[in-house]
Amino acid sequence: MFYVIGLGLCDEKDITVRGLEAVKGASRVYLEAYTSILMIQQDRLEEFYGKPVILADRDMVETQSDEILRDADKEDVAFLVVGDPFGATTHTDIILRARALGIQTRVIHNASIMNAVGACGLQLYNFGQTVSLVFFTETWKPDSYYDRVKENVQLGMHTLVLLDIKVKEQSEENLARGRKIYEPPRYMSIPTAVSQMLDTESTRQENVLNPESTLAIALSRVGGDGNQQRIVAGTLKELQGQPPEVFGEPLHSIVIVGKRVHYLEIEYAEAFAVDKENWRRVARDVYGCAGL
């Protein structure tokens, strides 16, 4: 059996009982280590599981899947994913490869940012399309995400924006020269994300993202213990103006609040607002949120 197992959001104890049983019974255990990160080191997983964990980077998952799937038709192999297994298309792809080889597959689900985002107070059924925001460069500023945000805005739906991470990435020069030299890990912060989105708005000028009147909620380390989890709400301008330490350690996400927001959602999120009075004012006067 080839098991694809969600680890949840925080540490080694977030795995489900069913997932832990599958790990303990597997002959090999891989940890997908590039679409997201855990808040702990690999050795804590190995100590908890009582067996070694093989890190599977992008290159291994995308080009060496045969090695990961080796003998999975005769024994159990576990492939661990931070969050839920279907949080990234990569995991769908490796399941399809296993099926093509006649290997039985089983998915064991867990919490992910896609449902844990409800911690900010916005109702999950009011969310539209989720988008990803990648790091801009001097020559590359992709804006296709803006069209998805615009569609959500037009429907009054909230938008979850997942922020880019760069793990074991090569520079253009090293990639061109075939040198296996990797850049240090980078994780997009909330201020960087807001700055990029407003940069896109200044280019597109379709009034989808207004710094003064678009409400947003920043989240980091959702599901973390103690003070690890951070939630900060405000206008885009207010979030952009906060010092980086306000948002805590990565991973970061941000939600663009939709116009169909209910006043109870606003009241819940007000606890996280930079300026509670302005949060209510914008929700009432710009979003037309009755009941405030």
80 or 225, which is more confident? 80
* Average pLDDT taken over every residue of the chain: 92
Question: CB–CB of 138/287 below 8 Å?
Answer: no
Q: What percent of the chain has pLDDT over 90?
A: 75
19 annotated binding-site participant: no
291 marked among binding-site residues: no
pLDDT bucket at 18, cuts 50 / 70 / 90? very high
C-alpha 50: how far from chain center: 28
- Overall number of domains in the chain: 2
One domain for residues 101 and 203 = no
- 43 and 127 belong to one structural domain: no
User: Is the preceding omega at residue 251 within 30 degrees of 0, hence cis?
Assistant: yes
Q: Is 225 marked as a binding-site residue?
A: no
Amino acid at 112: S
| Same domain? 50 vs 122 | no
Q: What is the pLDDT of residue 247?
A: 96
Structural domain including 52 reads 2-111
Q: Is 112 annotated as a binding residue?
A: yes
- Last residue of a domain, which of 57, 78, 111? 111
DSSP codes of every residue in 243-288: -GGGG-SSPEEEEEPPTT--HHHHHHHGGGBSSHHHHHHHHHHTS-
Work out the average pLDDT over 127-153.
Answer: 96
The tens digit of pLDDT for each residue in 38-53 reads 777 888 999 999 999 9
For residues 12 and 40, is the Cβ–Cβ distance under 8 A? yes
Residues 104 and 126 in one domain: no
Among 77, 111, 145, residue at a domain's last position: 111
Identify the DSSP state of 189.
Answer: -
In the structure encoding, which two tokens stand for residue 136, read together? 């801009």
Residue 162 counted as an annotated binding residue: no
On whether 253 is known to bind a ligand per the annotation, the reply is: no
Whole-model pTM: value is 0.91
Asked if residue 292 belongs to a domain, the reply is no
Judgement on whether residues 105 and 129 belong to the same structural domain of the protein: no
Cβ atoms of 172 and 183 closer than 8 Å: no
pLDDT of residue 282: 97
Token pair, residue 163, equals 């922020």
Average pLDDT over residues 235-250: 95
Residue 22: inside a domain, yes or no? yes
283 with 165, same domain: the answer is yes
Write out pLDDT tens, residues 195-209: 999 999 999 999 999
Across the range 258-279, mean pLDDT stands at 97
Query: Domain containing 272 — which CATH number?
Result: 3.30.950.10
Provide the CATH number for the domain around residue 33.
3.40.1010.10
36 labeled part of a ligand binding site: no
Q: CA 237 to CA 216: how far, in whole Å?
A: 10
Flag whether pLDDT at 89 surpasses 90: no
Examine the domain organization and report whether 166 and 267 are in the same domain.
yes
Do 92 and 86 touch, CB atoms closer than 8 A?
Answer: yes
Same domain? For 94 and 145 the reply is no
The verdict on 14 and 50 lying in the same domain is yes
For residue 222, say whether it is annotated as part of any ligand binding site: yes
Given a cut of 70, is residue 94 above it in pLDDT? Answer: yes
The answer to whether residue 194 scores a pLDDT higher than 90 is yes
Average pLDDT over every residue of 273-282: 97
**Kindly report the CA angle at 148 between 271 and 127, in degrees rounded to 5?**
40
pLDDT recorded at residue 14: 94
140 and 258 co-located in one domain: yes
**30-34, 108-112, 273-277: least confident range:** 30-34
Query: 79 has which bridge partners?
Result: 4, 30
Burial 100-126 (b: 16+ CB within 10 A, else e): eeebebebbbbbbbbebbebbbbeeeb
Last residue of a domain, one of 95, 111, 127: 111
